[in-house]
Amino acid sequence: MRVLVLGGSGFLGSHIVDRFVGERHDVTVYDLFPERFRKSPAAIKFVTGDFGNVGGLDKLISTGFDAVIHCVSTTTPKSSNESPEFDIQSNVIGTLNVLDICVRHRVGKLVFLSSGGTVYGDIGDADLVAETHAVRPMCSYGVSKLSVEHYLDVYKQLRGLDYVSLRIANPYGERQSPLVALGALTVFLYRTLKNQPVEIWGDGSVTRDFIYVGDVARAVYLATINPISGVFNVGAGVGLSLRQILAEIKHVTGRDPSVTWQPSRTFDVPRIVLNAQKLTAATGWTPSTTLREGMKRTAIWLQKSDL
Ligand SMILES: NC(=O)c1ccc[n+]([C@@H]2O[C@H](COP(=O)([O-])OP(=O)(O)OC[C@H]3O[C@@H](n4cnc5c(N)ncnc54)[C@H](O)[C@@H]3O)[C@@H](O)[C@H]2O)c1
């Protein structure tokens, strides 16, 4: 298979690239920058470019791809609310340009990395949420992800572009930067290893579905190579509060995290845990890395890394 990974130098993208390279597919990465934490696998072709460069992307995609895996996001949940206009312009309009190019050059499938953590919004008392659950994002980032999901469906109906949207829960693991305001588990682990306090917004009861990055990469791989279309959750289906994560970190590192408590943030939903049975039924995917094992691997990487 000839695969193009947009944003393939990033955290999730680099693991997705590893998966496809490991399975001997022909992989091209398109990104603004090379990988930050390692040298990319020698087998890939790397093209430097901006997602907003329609001409450049058109030229690249005209060379023919069986699948385009879209891992670019120009915003985070927090930053998206600071400028929804930028979020729409760069992520929604930017993706529409990619869809047009994919239709023009008959790309077999577009795989979009959506967000299970933001599209559903506040799920109230629900235990696990399936794809059929009501959606009500609390941030522009979630609105943009949902907009793209809807456009993908429109493009499939009207123009025949096949797609999969993967609503990914809270990924963590190697090559997730602990120096940005995203990815609580990796940030908490890093700061504890460095004897720095961790910041928690709220009382620590915020509950998330943490999923190891290798399991996400395998989900993306299976969703790409199998003849499936539509929207799928990707999560471990286990809810852990930030307080429980601190306890796990203590267990794995032998250090007691010190916490700076901050007021809660309006865009943090209290709880989100995903039901990924639809993806399991369609592809056989299930997460295979326990939280403890994933956390140990992440801790080893953080200790070795020159951050
Ligand atoms: N990390 C998470 O918690 C999470 C959760 C759910 C969904 N997602 C989604 O998965 C995707 C990948 O996330 P990630 O955590 O790997 O992000 P990341 O920031 O690590 O990677 C994104 C990559 O996109 C590249 N990029 C950004 N703007 C670009 C542009 N204008 N042109 C070309 N390349 C550009 C960056 O250089 C980077 O390599 C994103 O769409 C994100 O919204 C992430």
pLDDT in tens, the chain (307 residues): 999 999 999 999 999 999 999 999 999 999 999 999 999 999 999 999 999 999 999 999 999 999 999 999 999 998 999 999 999 999 999 999 999 999 999 999 999 999 999 999 999 888 999 999 999 999 999 999 999 999 999 999 999 999 999 999 999 999 999 998 789 999 999 999 999 999 999 999 999 999 999 999 999 999 999 999 999 999 999 999 999 999 999 999 999 999 999 999 887 889 999 999 999 999 999 999 999 999 999 999 999 987 8
In a domain, 140, yes or no: yes
Return the closest-CA partner of residue 112 out of 90, 137, 95, 129.
95
Q: What's the first-to-final CA gap in the chain, in angstroms?
A: 35
Q: Decide: 164 and 109 in contact? Cβ < 8 Å.
A: yes
Q: Decide: 104 and 145 in contact? Cβ < 8 Å.
A: no
pLDDT per position as a tens digit, 10-38 = 999 999 999 999 999 999 999 999 999 99
pLDDT per position as a tens digit, 148-183 = 999 999 999 999 999 999 999 999 999 999 998 789
Token digits for 146?
A: 């949902």
Handedness of CA 223, 211, 271, 136 (dihedral sign): negative
In a domain, 219, yes or no: yes
Question: For ligand 1, atom 12, which residue shows the shortest CA distance?
Answer: 71
In a domain, 244, yes or no: no
State the closest ligand 1 atom to the C-alpha of 168, by its place in the atom list counted from 1: 6
Distance in Å, CA 7 to ligand 1 centroid: 6
| C-alpha of 285 from chain center | 17
pLDDT of residue 180: 85
Distance in Å, CA 256 to ligand 1 centroid: 31
In a domain, 214, yes or no: yes
Coil/strand/helix, residue 274: strand
Question: For ligand 1, atom 15, which residue shows the shortest CA distance?
Answer: 11
| C-alpha of 296 from chain center | 20
DSSP per-residue letters across 169-201: -EEE-TT--TTSS--HHHHHHHHHHTT-PEEEE
Token digits for 106?
A: 């008959």
Question: For ligand 1, atom 25, which residue shows the shortest CA distance?
Answer: 7
Return the closest-CA partner of residue 190 out of 34, 37, 19.
37
In a domain, 116, yes or no: yes
Place of tokens 């393939």: 8
pLDDT of residue 108: 96
Give the range of the structural domain holding residue 57, as residue numbers without chain letter. Answer: 2-172+210-235
pLDDT per position as a tens digit, 222-245 = 999 999 999 999 999 999 999 999
In a domain, 251, yes or no: no
Mutate-to-test residue for ligand 1 from 32, 75, 90, highest number of ligand atoms within 8 A of CB: 32
Site residues for ligand 1, CB cut-off 6 Å: 7, 9-13, 31-33, 50-52, 71-74, 113, 115, 117, 168, 170-171, 182-183
State the closest ligand 1 atom to the C-alpha of 35, by its place in the atom list counted from 1: 39
Domains: count for the chain: 1
State the closest ligand 1 atom to the C-alpha of 116, by its place in the atom list counted from 1: 6
Q: What is the CATH classification number for the domain harbouring 91?
A: 3.40.50.720
In a domain, 144, yes or no: yes
Burial of 64 by CB count in 10 Å (0-12 exposed, 13-18 middle, 19+ buried)? Answer: exposed
Coil/strand/helix, residue 12: helix
Distance in Å, CA 289 to ligand 1 centroid: 22
pLDDT of residue 181: 73
By DSSP bridging, strand 109-115 and strand 198-201 are unpaired
Burial 175-197 (b: 16+ CB within 10 A, else e): bbbbeeeebbbbbbbbbbbeeee
Phi-psi label, residue 21: left if phi above 0, alpha if psi -120 to 50, beta otherwise:
alpha
Handedness of CA 66, 10, 306, 287 (dihedral sign): negative
Contacts of 10 (CB under 8 A, 6+ apart): 31, 71, 72
Q: Decide: 210 and 273 in contact? Cβ < 8 Å.
A: no
In a domain, 179, yes or no: no
Please give the DSSP secondary-structure letter assigned to residue 129: B
Task: For the beta carbon of residue 256, count every other beta carbon within 10 angstroms.
Answer: 11
Task: For the beta carbon of residue 290, count every other beta carbon within 10 angstroms.
Answer: 12
Question: For ligand 1, atom 7, which residue shows the shortest CA distance?
Answer: 115
Rounded CA separation 28/84 (Å): 30
